[in-house]
Structure 1
Amino acid sequence: LALYGFGSSAHVVIQMAHHRGYEVYVVTRGKKHRQFAKEMGAKWVGENASELPVKVDSAILFAPAGELIPPALEKLNKGGTLSLAGIHMSDVPTLNYDNHLFPQSKNNFHFYCH
């Protein structure tokens, strides 16, 4: 499981994921947030989405940054799920079918509205 952004919702999700035995990878800009993610047992923590060392089956985008959607899609295994869970999000850039959608042709997208 990859978590993009590590605010209060992600703090809860990482605990539930660990309880279920998942490995959790965290991408977040804030130095304090990265340190806290390490303390909470994240397998890997980084600042840039492109540095995520593995492809994952599931990812949750909490960060309000639409520009993270393409790299998050690129880091999904085929058939993976990307959930967009932010309350607010900046504009989503144009997705490239060949790079972002076709390779994962059966990916699932979930938008949560509050």
Structure 2
Amino acid sequence: MSLYQSKLRNTGPKGAPIIDSLSVDRTMKTRMQNHGQSNLLREKTLTFEKELDQSRRTSLREEHELRKTILELRKPQNDSKEWLLKNHGRFNDWKQRERTKLEHKYSSRSSKEKVAN
């Protein structure tokens, strides 16, 4: 039997290859197994991502709570109006002192420049 005759035997009308049903079953079976494995892998990754996302959320929530408590601890204990006014007054006094220093500094410079000219 020549090579040409063996090729003819494995081909159908118009030269299309004849595929036996066993090879089709085998390929379909492996495809389905691979598909099932990929689905299983996809499900595992989705559950892992969900768990990771959940843990991130809880850690962010815990971090937010810690920041909140730290801010509450840093707040002054006396929230009375007197305390706020007293500290605001101190700030205004400091600002006024700085302003007068700057005014004195620049006014003395300008007067020295005038004298030199």
Q: TM-score range by the shorter chain?
A: under 0.3
TM-score by length of 1: 0.15
- Structure possessing the higher relative contact order (Cα contacts under 8 Å, 6 or more residues apart): 1
TM-score by length of 2: 0.15
Q: Per residue, is there more helix in 1 or in 2?
A: 2
